[in-house]
């Protein structure tokens, strides 16, 4: 009986994750198209710094324990998906926006799986867009990707092992520290360039 209840809960969580992701995916795809077009058409030296400041400010806000009074509505998927897709295509880092939205809508395990799926889809979308645009035409880049694939697989496995041992609060704190470091790195890199 207990196993049936657990399976039923897992199915509900999976359905909820699909619904939440389904709201983000079309906007993510549209945002990726916009971001790729912007990246290929304009030189945006200031955009990484702006993104870095935004990300750093959000991470600090989150680490200080600030939370929205209410859960984000499903309609928030539109701006989070669009801007996340744009940032993903332009900077390779839109996942933090999906994390903000998902952390408001899902529990830790559902968020982790959904976040991984969205980042994978975003990466695949970016790959296809830039392949079609001829950006990835060189064989050297393909060789580098193949060489780095084993490290990515080990990283995914290690990350899963670590997050399974964490509470939701610990998991979100780690995500926010990583977001803070990423945002700070963007700002510093822009200033040093």
Residue range of the domain that includes 106: 2-192
For the ranges 58-72, 131-145, 147-161, the lowest mean pLDDT is seen at 58-72
Q: Is a pLDDT exceeding 70 seen at residue 7?
A: no
Q: What percent of the chain has pLDDT over 70?
A: 89
Q: Is a pLDDT exceeding 50 seen at residue 59?
A: yes
Neighbours of 155 (CB within 10 A): 11
Residue pair 10/103 in contact (Cβ under 8 Å)? The answer is no
Number of domains making up the chain: 1
User: Taking the model in full, what pTM does it have?
Assistant: 0.64
Q: Is a pLDDT exceeding 90 seen at residue 58?
A: no
pLDDT band at 5 (very low <50, low <70, confident <90, very high): low
pLDDT band at 8 (very low <50, low <70, confident <90, very high): low
| Burial class of residue 123 (count of CB atoms within 10 Å of its CB; 0-12, 13-18, 19+) | middle
Residue recorded with tokens 């991470």: 59
6 or 107, which is more confident? 107
pLDDT band at 189 (very low <50, low <70, confident <90, very high): confident
Counting other chains too, the contacts that 100-105 makes at CB distance below 8 Å and 24 or more residues apart are 100/58, 101/20, 101/24, 101/72, 101/76, 101/77, 102/20, 103/172, 103/175, 104/68, 104/71, 104/72, 104/76, 105/20, 105/71, 105/72, 105/74
Residue pair 190/48 in contact (Cβ under 8 Å)? The answer is yes
Going from the C-alpha of 23 to that of each of 4, 19, 107, 124, 169, the distances in angstroms are 29, 7, 17, 18, 25
Residues 6+ apart with CB under 8 A from 126: 32, 36, 88, 89, 92
Planar angle of CA 116, 34, 23, nearest 5 degrees: 45
CA atoms within 13 A on the CB side of 62: 25
Q: Mean pLDDT over residues 119-148, rounded?
A: 82
CA 179 – CA 158 distance, rounded (Å): 19
**What are the tens digits of pLDDT across the range 71-115?**
788 888 899 999 988 888 887 777 778 888 888 888 877 887 888
């Amino acid at each position: 009986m207990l196993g049936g209840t657990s399976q039923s809960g897992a199915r509900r969580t999976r359905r909820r994750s699909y619904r939440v992701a389904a709201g983000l995916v079309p906007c993510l795809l549209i945002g990726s198209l916009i971001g790729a077009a912007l990246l290929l058409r304009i030189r945006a030296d200031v955009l990484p710094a702006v993104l870095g400041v935004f990300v750093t400010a959000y991470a600090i806000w989150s680490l200080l324990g600030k939370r929205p009074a209410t859960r984000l509505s499903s309609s928030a998927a539109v701006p989070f998906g669009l801007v996340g897709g744009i940032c993903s295509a332009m900077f390779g880092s839109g996942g933090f926006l999906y994390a903000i939205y998902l952390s408001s809508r899902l529990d830790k395990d559902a968020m982790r799986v959904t976040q991984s799926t969205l980042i994978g889809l975003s990466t695949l979308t970016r790959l296809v867009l830039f392949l079609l645009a001829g950006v990835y035409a060189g064989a050297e880049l393909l060789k580098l990707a193949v060489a780095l694939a084993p490290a990515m697989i080990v990283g995914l496995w290690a990350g899963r092992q670590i997050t399974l041992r964490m509470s939701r609060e610990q998991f979100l704190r780690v995500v926010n520290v990583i977001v803070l470091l990423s945002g700070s790195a963007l700002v510093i890199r822009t200033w040093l360039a």
